[in-house]
A and B are shown apart, each in its own frame.
Chain A
Amino acid sequence: MIRFVLLISRQGKVRLTKWYSPYTQKERLKAIRELSALILPRGPKLCNFVEWKGLKVVYKRYASLYFCICVDSEDNELDGLEVIHHYVQVLDRYFGNVCELDLIFNFHKAYFILDEILIAGELQESSKKSVSRVISAQDTLVENAKEQASSLSNMIAQATK
């Protein structure tokens, strides 16, 4: 299973974390620190796996951002690597040519999307279409609620004029 997902920038800044096993805040920081030190200096021609504390971290760099997932040592590494790519593709579809800034300012959206792809550290949905459908349905729900609220306040405003 995936123990956690970590998005860090090339400078070591945390962009997103999601933990599927219980880690205390201290352990989380330690993991992020250690993995940054382990992964960020690695050159482009090396493999996408590093061994860490009896676990394995599968990572991939997309532009300035490293997507890392920590899996059990006997898990299928390439399977994990393509889970990352799958997530990136869905993000790309949603934001339209996604970049790091999109994820910084919309980290909550990144969370919503991740929750439609992984649950309990396992792949939930491998169809990009299906994920995108669900996310846009969510957006519509939230939008509708907003409109309702604003039209309500309009009505009140008019009524009390």
Chain B
Amino acid sequence: MALSGMRGLSVFISDVRNCQNKELERARVDKELANIRTKFKNDKGLTPYEKKKYVWKMLYIFMLGYDVDFGHMEAVSLISAPKYAEKQVGYIVTSSLLNENHDFLRLVINTVRNDIIGRNETFQCLALTMVGNIGGKEFSESLAPDVQKLLISNSCRPLVRKKAALCLLRLYRKNPDVVSVDGWADRMSQLLDEREIGVLTAVMSLLVALVANNPDAYWNCVSKCVRVLERLTRSQDIPQEYTYYGIPSPWLQVKTMRVLQYFPAIDDPNIRRSLFEVLQRVLMGTDAVKNINKNNATHAVLFEALALVMHLDAEKDMMAQCVGLLGKFIAVREPNIRYLGLENMTRMLMVSDVQESIKRHQVQIITSLRDPDISIRRRSLDLLYGMCDVTNAKDIVEELLQYLTTADFAIREELALKAAILAEKFAPDLSWYVDVILQLIEKAGDFVSDDIWYRVVQFVTNNDDLQPYAAAKARDFLDKPAVHETMVKVAGYLLGEYSHLLSRRPGCSPKEVFSIIHDKFATVSTPTKAILLSAYIKILLHSQTVDPELQNHVLAVFRKNETYLDAEVQQRASEYYALSRKGPSMVDVMAEMPKFPERQSALLKKAEDTEVDVADTSATKLRLMQLTSTAVVVADQKPANGVHPALTRVPSGQRNIEAPTVPVANGGQSPAPVDFLAIEAAPTHSAPESSPLVGPGDSLALALMDNQASTVQIGLKAEWRGNQGRIVLFLGNKHTAPLLSVKAVILPPRHMQLLTSNVPDTIPPRAQVQCPVEVTNLSPSREIPVLDFCYNNSSAMVSFKLRLPVIMSKFLQGATLAPADYIARWKALMGPPNKLLQEVVRGVKPLPLQEMSDLLGSLHVAIAPGYDPNVNNIVGAATYFSENPTLCLVRIETDPADRTQIRLTVGTPDTSVALELKEYIKERLVDIPSGAAPTSLPGMPSPADDLVGPAASLAGLI
């Protein structure tokens, strides 16, 4: 225990370890954090030892997952300490505590640079390590030349040079411009002559990244790499310490082979020959051994060699040898090798001509589908999916279906999707395809997304021969006990369309079909009910002879649902009721659905997405995406900025005509992803008023429908930096006629300068024009620019005004200050002349403290928790950008006894900023925007209108 050398740290760690549960642990950690905070506050008295001890504790707490939002300065400041022991701690804690873009890192760039170019080798190492681990763009710009110098220096020891190589790699990843292409190719080539394996390994890592981005520039490295490989595989001149279980640095071998895979082809016959000799030696000479680590290491090299052989498109013999090896691997007991065998076989499918030889291993691969290890099952599924073609589709799909019933949930959705795609792609006949999908729904209904059954409907609709078969099958499946809802949907749809083709079969009379479907009606969800209602009327009207009993039954169902809660069901019920009373003359209205236009399978596209991230395209998420009953405005969420997502709910009083509540009418396609999610609402509900929380770089779209139901859609995208902003207005005409005499004028408030580009006079039908606007904020004001938009829609002139979300918080940026600094500034503002504006605000909407501080945060004020000793107070700081940036300090004092009143204090060197900001914050606190509240027609707001009390008199003064 004493090993740590710091008693306090050891005691703390063992305290945390002894905590019985999470709550106790948190309490202990909070206590420690409070302790550290007080120690840091009066930091005059801290010895270097204590400082070190506390930052270690901070790091430990942070590592456990707790937020540590102070003391970063203390950690960073240790970097500048003269002594190694402190510097070392400073560097290592900083590199673990801060992310690459942290502001504090900027403060130490100079110190770091001095350490790098200085003469002290140990300092160089520390600095290079930290920059290599967390260096960001700024480090990249200011340090890259120095790091390069170290890497190629003759006087530096290997220890420094290998760190320099990897540090440069990090900087290159952050900013590829740091390595100039022409000069570096030669340098890299020289570096490959390095004898020291440690340096060579680091250089090789760097080379992988360089070559991956730009293989053409590094051709001269190919022969050197092959030579390195020769040296390694022949164990020439490899010091003992660089062999790993007797193997000459397997890592360097792997990396070197990786580099070679980035060159498109290797044409030089001599180089190619030497390389193949090496590869052959690896392929032939690798045997399974008992020692597991040795085995892993040799196989790491072997698999990399296999990848390289595949890449080089070697001769047939060698390829066959590779497939043979992989075939052996997928049958061994060692799970890692089995996994990698399957994985590499899948990769090999990309290479031509091996498909047939891989097929020979199909049985073995299918066995792996039942492996106890899900990682292996995944690989096997992928491989089966990749190797499937017309010849083996039936076998493979049937295997997948069988496996589906026992597969674990984590893999079922992927499995169902893959089976559906294969069945579609390689179906020997379409009835088999229908069978597969229906079985799929039966076995794993929860995991069958709507896309899958839409696709079946498309196929059946487009193939007349298939229709009776599909309808009969659907009927059979409905007979089974416990039918999945998706099955009810697809069966309902198919029977509605095609059950009349079966009417002569036993058990398939319209009445029987109706009653078997209607059995399910009571238990299904609303969208399914809507589908079933359509099926009923179709069954009724398609039957050749009118069966009065059936008619009465169906009419009764419609009647009953005319008052159903859901608008869609209700509408269908009443419309169908009216239609069916008109009798068979209405048969045309309910004719069979027309054929679908040929389209690319939505499933294939989805499979591609799924491959990127299986976990995130879960069934629930997809289902959520399809729930569009309530329109939502969503701004691009940028959690990194701490901006709160602006969600504005608009009551869907108007029926959203585009919501795909009728998926079938939608042609079996899931709703196309749109760039913006649009809200549809009457102009009186226009959104700008309710969107003050939208963050920077946001986009939002508003759609307006005028009385003629022709639609104009106005979208907005914005980026903000300092006191500048760039807005792009998207003016869309959704109508089929052009919009004439279009005018979009923005009336700038006096504090802003707006540069608007010209809007074309006419917007063609179904077209969208973009209108960029440059905004410059000149002086503080809460006024909002208003867009005056008018057009002629061939019958009348329409005009309306929209307030644009160019609000004060767009020009605010959170500012983080150290506690001491914060207090000093506060005091400076207090001292004469008093620059603090203070007001007691009553009638505040009562909010929990956290929400209030979140609200402040959403206005881009950086909250500084803990700076104010009173826990009921919130303090924060922000920079306001107008012509000159101004630092603003904000404090809200809340009264725990009366949450409806607060004291708000805003201090800035510029009183006009303070006044506007105070009023702005006040408005947010008093009237928290609840999007649902309809707002009055947007007009020009006058900033002083709604001011009362002292604020009004102050406003009068300005």
Contacts A28-B65, A54-B613, A119-B133; A141 near B85 (Cβ below 8 A): yes
User: Taking the complex as formed, is B132 at the interface, i.e. its CB lies under 8 A from any CB of chain A?
Assistant: yes
B569 CB to closest chain A CB (Å) equals 40
User: Taking the complex as formed, is B13 at the interface, i.e. its CB lies under 8 A from any CB of chain A?
Assistant: yes
Q: Which of B460-501 contact A (CB under 8 A)?
A: none
Q: In whole angstroms, how far apart are the Cα atoms of A78 and B340 in the complex?
A: 9
A18 CB to closest chain B CB (Å) equals 7
Q: Which of B14, B101, B133, B304 has the most CB of A within 10 A?
A: B133
Q: A112 touching B92 by the CB < 8 A rule? A: yes
Which chain B residues border A109 with CB–CB below 8 Å? Answer: 3-4
Which chain B residues border A18 with CB–CB below 8 Å? Answer: 96, 133
Q: Which of B366-386 contact A (CB under 8 A)?
A: 372-376, 378
Q: In whole angstroms, how far apart are the Cα atoms of A28 and B304 in the complex?
A: 31
Which chain A residues border B100 with CB–CB below 8 Å? Answer: 22
Q: Which of B113-136 contact A (CB under 8 A)?
A: 122, 128-129, 132-134
Contacts A119-B167, A126-B198, A127-B197; A78 near B13 (Cβ below 8 A): no
Which chain B residues border A142 with CB–CB below 8 Å? Answer: 84-85, 88
User: Taking the complex as formed, is A136 at the interface, i.e. its CB lies under 8 A from any CB of chain B?
Assistant: no
B169 contact from A29, A86, A122, Cβ within 8 A: A122
Q: B372 touching A105 by the CB < 8 A rule? A: no
Q: A105 touching B3 by the CB < 8 A rule? A: yes
Q: A120 touching B170 by the CB < 8 A rule? A: yes
Q: In whole angstroms, how far apart are the Cα atoms of A107 and B4 in the complex?
A: 8
Q: In whole angstroms, how far apart are the Cα atoms of A121 and B159 in the complex?
A: 17
Closest to B163 in A: A119
Q: In whole angstroms, how far apart are the Cα atoms of A50 and B614 in the complex?
A: 13
Q: In whole angstroms, how far apart are the Cα atoms of A138 and B10 in the complex?
A: 21
Q: In whole angstroms, how far apart are the Cα atoms of A137 and B88 in the complex?
A: 13
B198 contact from A23, A28, A49, A127, Cβ within 8 A: A127
Interface size on A, residues (CB 8 A): 64
User: Taking the complex as formed, is B244 at the interface, i.e. its CB lies under 8 A from any CB of chain A?
Assistant: yes
A86 contact from B122, B133, B197, B244, Cβ within 8 A: B244
Segment from B217-225, B331-339, B391-399, B879-887 that makes contact with A: B331-339
B336 contact from A22, A48, A141, Cβ within 8 A: A48
Q: B251 touching A128 by the CB < 8 A rule? A: no
Q: A24 touching B88 by the CB < 8 A rule? A: no
Which chain B residues border A105 with CB–CB below 8 Å? Answer: 1, 3-4, 10, 13-14
Interface size on B, residues (CB 8 A): 79
Q: A125 touching B162 by the CB < 8 A rule? A: yes
B617 CB to closest chain A CB (Å) equals 12
A124 contact from B14, B166, B241, B296, Cβ within 8 A: B166
Q: B122 touching A141 by the CB < 8 A rule? A: yes
Q: B56 touching A47 by the CB < 8 A rule? A: no
Q: Which of A19, A22, A125 has the most CB of B within 10 A?
A: A125
Q: B242 touching A47 by the CB < 8 A rule? A: no
Closest to B257 in A: A76
Q: In whole angstroms, how far apart are the Cα atoms of A94 and B303 in the complex?
A: 32
User: Taking the complex as formed, is B953 at the interface, i.e. its CB lies under 8 A from any CB of chain A?
Assistant: no
User: Taking the complex as formed, is A25 at the interface, i.e. its CB lies under 8 A from any CB of chain B?
Assistant: yes
Closest to A143 in B: B85
Q: In whole angstroms, how far apart are the Cα atoms of A82 and B14 in the complex?
A: 31
Which chain B residues border A141 with CB–CB below 8 Å? Answer: 84-85, 122
User: Taking the complex as formed, is A161 at the interface, i.e. its CB lies under 8 A from any CB of chain B?
Assistant: no
Which chain A residues border B10 with CB–CB below 8 Å? Answer: 105
B304 contact from A76, A83, A85, Cβ within 8 A: A76
Q: A14 touching B84 by the CB < 8 A rule? A: no
Q: Which of A29, A42, A130 has the most CB of B within 10 A?
A: A130
Q: Which of B283-304 contact A (CB under 8 A)?
A: 293, 296-297, 299-300, 303-304
Q: A49 touching B84 by the CB < 8 A rule? A: no
Q: B163 touching A46 by the CB < 8 A rule? A: no
User: Taking the complex as formed, is A123 at the interface, i.e. its CB lies under 8 A from any CB of chain B?
Assistant: yes
Q: In whole angstroms, how far apart are the Cα atoms of A91 and B14 in the complex?
A: 21
Contacts A25-B67, A107-B60; A83 near B251 (Cβ below 8 A): yes
Q: In whole angstroms, how far apart are the Cα atoms of A24 and B101 in the complex?
A: 11
Q: A120 touching B63 by the CB < 8 A rule? A: no
Q: A120 touching B197 by the CB < 8 A rule? A: no
Q: Which of A79-132 contact B (CB under 8 A)?
A: 79, 81-83, 85-86, 101-102, 104-109, 111-112, 115, 119-120, 122-130
Q: B84 touching A120 by the CB < 8 A rule? A: no
B340 contact from A54, A77, A101, Cβ within 8 A: A77
Q: B300 touching A126 by the CB < 8 A rule? A: no
Q: In whole angstroms, how far apart are the Cα atoms of A78 and B335 in the complex?
A: 12
Q: Can you sample 26 A-B contacts with CB below 8 Å?
A: A17-B63, A19-B96, A45-B335, A47-B375, A49-B375, A51-B614, A53-B615, A76-B258, A78-B300, A78-B303, A79-B250, A81-B296, A82-B251, A82-B293, A102-B3, A105-B14, A120-B170, A122-B169, A124-B201, A126-B198, A126-B251, A127-B241, A130-B159, A130-B241, A141-B85, A145-B84
| Other A-B pairs beyond A48-B336, A120-B173, A142-B88, 10, CB < 8 Å | A22-B101, A29-B65, A49-B336, A50-B374, A105-B10, A120-B132, A124-B198, A124-B201, A126-B251, A142-B85
The chain A residues found within 8 Å of chain B, CB to CB, are: 14, 16-20, 22-26, 28-29, 32, 42-43, 45-54, 76-79, 81-83, 85-86, 101-102, 104-109, 111-112, 115, 119-120, 122-130, 134, 137-138, 141-142, 145-146
8 closest cross-chain pairs (CB), A and B: A78-B300, A47-B335, A120-B170, A119-B166, A119-B132, A46-B373, A127-B241, A122-B205
